[in-house]
Structure 1
Amino acid sequence: MKAETADLLFEVVGRLEKSIAAHDCPAIVAIEGERKLVLSDYDYLHDSATAAAFEERGAGKAREIGATRWVLAVPQVWIFRPPSTIALRAVSNHPLQEGEQEAITWMSFDREDGVDYGRVAYTRRPDGEPVFEEPEIFEVGIRPRETMPGFLLLQRCLGDE
């Protein structure tokens, strides 16, 4: 990952970590091109239509400013199912079940460097305060499904190539 994209990743993750600590769970996308834009959506996790509308809006802004890179980050619950399946669900106030972990799911795109995926896992102290790990970049071949945060945004940006 290029240094510029990593800087943008840390900025977006930092913003989202502050929101999560304040009990908010927006999706955040930062887009760099002729200028930098940061968009957020508190309803992103409500349903797939709302998520798609946010990503379409982000793609429109990316075209407007001639985006060279972007990072999208979304708080989710990761559900680990043996032997090697991972499912995702929206965060909620319900306690985590066995095999579940809260994490920030992220996707980055750089026109020169390509696409990276990852997560920032976090746990909560007994008082509910989140404790965040460092961003993890997936080093194994991951094929995102259409429901992965950023998938539609990526398809729209690649369609502009």
Structure 2
Amino acid sequence: MHEATDRLLREVTRRTERAIHDRDCPAITALQGDRKLLLSDYDYLRDEPTAEAFEHRAAARAREIYTVRFVFAVPQVWLFTDETIYGRAVANLPLHEGEQELVVWTAFDLEEGVDYGYLPYARRPGGEPAFDEEDQMVITIPTRPKGNYPGFHLLQDLMQDGWRPLRDAIPVRVELRSLMVVEVVQYR
């Protein structure tokens, strides 16, 4: 990951952490191009059409500032199985067995391509979230995100809408460490 993208990722995850401490769960994206823009949407987790609409609005803004990198992050709850990752919106309710609260992110850089990852967090007995940036995970296995993965529509919009500088610059970068394909499936 490019150093500037890593800095942007840390900034966005810190902002997301502060929101979670305040019991908010917004999607936050940072777009960096001619200037840096920070966008957030507190309704992102309500449903898929709302999430997709925010990502389309973010893509429009990204084109306006000739974005060279972005980070998109949102809190979610994931349940990991051997073949699939199930995801749902966060709630201030107890987790079901095997569930993990995470800040899920997508990071994109023109030079380095796309990275996917997450920052898990735990809750103290009083319900206060506890984060450790050392726990940040970059998914290093071949990954095929679906349309409901955070940042998917933003990335797709920038690649497919004819904005040639972005589409032509995306390198193919895959680290083969496993043959597992990760798919996030929404559940409630």
User: What's the TM-score, normalizing by structure 1?
Assistant: 0.97
Q: Summarize the alignment of residues 79-90 of structure 1 with structure 2, pairs less than 5 Å apart.
A: 79-81=79-81, 83-90=82-89
Q: Summarize the alignment of residues 8-157 of structure 1 with structure 2, pairs less than 5 Å apart.
A: 8-81=8-81, 83-134=82-133, 135-157=136-158
Letter in 1 for 2:8: L
Q: How many Å separate the matches in 1 of 2:19 and 2:63?
A: 27
Bigger proportion of residues as strand:
1
Q: How many Å separate the matches in 1 of 2:120 and 2:6?
A: 17
How far does the alpha carbon of each residue in 1:7-48 deviate from its partner, in whole angstroms, 9 at most, with x for none? Answer: 000000000000001111000000000000000000000001
Q: CA deviation at 1:52?
A: 0.7
Q: CA deviation at 1:84?
A: 2.9
Local SS of the residue matching 2:78: strand
Local SS of the residue matching 1:79: strand
Letter in 1 for 2:103: I
Q: How many Å separate the matches in 1 of 2:131 and 2:57?
A: 29
Q: How many Å separate the matches in 1 of 2:125 and 2:22?
A: 16
In structure 2, stretches of 5+ residues that fail to align are 168-188
How far does the alpha carbon of each residue in 1:28-82 deviate from its partner, in whole angstroms, 9 at most, with x for none? Answer: 000000000000000000001110110001000000000000000000000123x
Q: How many Å separate the matches in 2 of 1:13 and 1:93?
A: 19
Q: CA deviation at 1:158?
A: 1.1
Local SS of the residue matching 1:76: strand
Q: How many Å separate the matches in 1 of 2:156 and 2:61?
A: 14
Q: How many Å separate the matches in 2 of 1:17 and 1:84?
A: 29
Identical aligned residues as a percent = 54
